[in-house]
Amino acid sequence: MRNLLLPTLPLLALAAASPLAAQDVVPPAEAAVEGAAGARYEPADDLERSLWFQMEEAERSLKTSQQVIRDPELNAYLRDVLCRTVGPECAGIRLYVVRSPYFNATMAPNGAMTVWTGLLLRAQSEAQLAAVLGHEFAHFKRRHSVQLFREAKSKSNAAAFLSFTGVGLLLSIGLMESIFSFSREMEQEADLDGLKLLSAAGYDPAQVPLIWEQLLDERDATLVARGRDKDKRKARAGLGDTHPPSQARVDYLRAAIGGLEPAGPILGEDRYREKMAAWWPQFLDDQLKLNDDGGSLFLIESIAKANGWTPWIAYARAEFHRRRAAPGDVEAAIGHYSEAIARGGDLPELWRGRGFALRKAGRTEEARADFVEYLGRVPDAPDRAMVSTLAGVN
Amino acid sequence: MKRLPVLALAAALVALPAAPVLAGWKLVEEDKPVAVAKSAMRVTPSENWNRWTARPVKQGETWTRDGVNLNELYIVAGLPAGMTLYKDVQKKERPLPKLSAKLDLTEIPEFYESSTRLVLNTSVFQMTAVEPAKMGGQDAVKFAFEYSVEGSPLKRRGMGLGTMVKGQLYLIAFAAPATHFFDRDKAEVEAIMASVTF
């Protein structure tokens, strides 16, 4: 587990979060949740100080991380959504977009928040993104990390204490239950706070449980494709539970939504889609390289459902089948590449991919024509030498 | 989480490679042909290398000159269909792709990339060149790539040479920091790649 978390520290590349973004924000009339985000927390004793030092040290070394996406527009958008959701207190948060295909976001007690690209791929509306950002912010505001640390210390809970060395101070939404199984109450607290923030900001709170339901469904798809049993959807978390999204979470969120004042039901789907359009193909490509057939296909289907048909979704489908290479996949891949091309797709990799699929199907002449087309469209392709040989145009 | 040395590459990375108690390093002497993983595939280095006595997979060997963080040569001789390129230590949650006997040599770079991304837990990995080549007289594919791993600002470069013979994978892959080490050892690694005999 540790190695999953490590990446999250690198977050800190004090990215491009534009300070201007916060100025557009209309703060909620009153703070929607409890806590004290204003003052910076000062470690109380030597042990805490040493942990803080480790964290900041880790952050420093990660400021130059190659995993952090520094694109100013993407960062400004995420910061904008964060500030819309939590109000002016967003100024205390440093937000980093980490290129990792898994669903996750983390919050460190010093205000460093990470959002992983796998989350951006899975969220289907701005409201869903806002839900996660609000949840993480609630951890920060309630100083959950510090509380957890104190609790672990006071109970002399060796296992819990160990989890705090270095990266343990991060609260991670994707891995929460596996690392801090003793902290489910805080997790629920953050979920409910997040819901209030979301609702106060005018977003549709009904979007929140949808994220978790979709994660449960994706998890099932992954397991089924690997020939394993689906996870049991228990309403109560057990001691040995390793996977975060639980049915319990969906249940209490639904119950809490029922008690909220009806608020402006902003989904922000169009805006979200527009901002993510340039990124999804790359994020999906990272997913396709994970050897997770069930999860990948599930995601492609749900993105297709939310977005309608687009050439890059057709391309992703085609690539999925070509890579999986199960019986019938070559033909399916050729079909999807061809459909994308016929309907105006102009991504050069469409011809490259179809060329490889045709070649595999023994349709060498057609494959060659596609390779020639690909080379014509990308004269400096990294695989030019290989493809030229296959095209017979050495 | 138990980590075996096998994550040959991973050693270079983030995590704590806990070498098994008995694993050690043996000298691979320069200018002497050496059989890889007791197979019929032989290579001849022109410098001295160190071979990890623990094999990442039965058909694979890890070599280094200065430590796997600085230069790592991974040589696989005859990986059979159904096997993974590295030891599948996280097979429950993050299984590695299994080699297909039908894998075309043009697909070797994709197989390498997907396996390596999973083992290194990184998405910052990019193929920078793919070209036809020869390996021990067989048609082969040569590829170059760049990557970096979580928590490190270091850019790494690598290159690979692979072929499929009778449904089995033969591969030599090299990775090193882009700064200094990759360029320093590139010629030596290319010479090793050119020295392959079956």
Residue B124: what pLDDT?
Answer: 95
Long-range contacts of B139-146 (CB under 8 A, 24+ apart): B139/B105, B139/B163, B140/B105, B141/A386, B141/B105, B141/B106, B141/B108, B141/B109, B142/B193, B143/B108, B143/B109, B143/B112, B145/B109, B145/B113, B146/B178
Q: What is the mean pLDDT of residues A311-334?
A: 95
The answer to which of A94-103, A123-132, B7-16 has the lowest mean pLDDT is B7-16
Do A2 and B1 count as a contact with CB atoms less than 8 A apart?
Answer: yes
Q: How far, CA to CA in Å, does A14 sit from each of A40, A53, A71, B118, B154?
A: 17, 18, 12, 27, 18
With beta carbons under 8 A apart, name residues in chain A contacting B97: 291
Residue B136 has pLDDT above 80, yes or no: yes
Residue B108: what pLDDT?
Answer: 97
Q: Rounded to a whole number, what is the distance in Å from the CA of B44 to chain A's nearest CA? A: 27
Q: What is the mean pLDDT of residues A170-183?
A: 51
Residue B69 has pLDDT above 80, yes or no: yes
Residue A176 has pLDDT above 60, yes or no: no
Question: Tokens for A140?
Answer: 């920060």
Q: How far, CA to CA in Å, does B66 sit from each of B4, B72, B195?
A: 20, 9, 22
The answer to which of A40-54, A59-73, A120-134, B85-99 has the lowest mean pLDDT is A40-54
With beta carbons under 8 A apart, name residues in chain B contacting A7: 14, 121, 150-151
What span, in angstroms and rounded, lies between the C-alpha atoms of A310 and A316?
10
CB A13 within 8 A of CB A64: yes
Do A66 and B114 count as a contact with CB atoms less than 8 A apart?
Answer: no
Give A12's DSSP letter: -
Q: How far, CA to CA in Å, does B193 sit from each of B34, B80, B163, B164?
A: 13, 21, 12, 15
CB A171 within 8 A of CB A139: yes
Q: Rounded to a whole number, what is the distance in Å from the CA of B32 to chain A's nearest CA? A: 32
- A115 sits in which H/E element: strand A112-116
| Cα B39 from chain centroid (whole Å) | 16
What span, in angstroms and rounded, lies between the C-alpha atoms of A273 and A257?
25
Q: Give the best residue of B114, B124, B150, B152 to mutate against chain A (max A CB count within 10 A).
A: B150
Residue A178 has pLDDT above 50, yes or no: no
Question: Tokens for A91?
Answer: 């100024």
Do B130 and A390 count as a contact with CB atoms less than 8 A apart?
Answer: no
Maximum CA pair distance of chain A? 73
Please identify among residues 205-234 of chain A the ones whose CB lies closer than 8 Å to any CB of chain B: 226
What is residue A106's three-state secondary structure? strand
Q: Which of A357, A347, A355, A340 is nearest to A388 (CA)?
A: A355
Q: Quick one: pLDDT band at residue B3, thresholds 50, 70, 90?
A: very low
Residue A217: what pLDDT?
Answer: 87
Percentage of residues of chain B with pLDDT beyond 70: 89
User: Per-residue pLDDT tens for A208-226?
Assistant: 888 888 888 888 899 899 8
User: Per-residue pLDDT tens for A252-299?
Assistant: 888 888 777 665 677 888 899 999 989 998 999 999 999 999 999 999
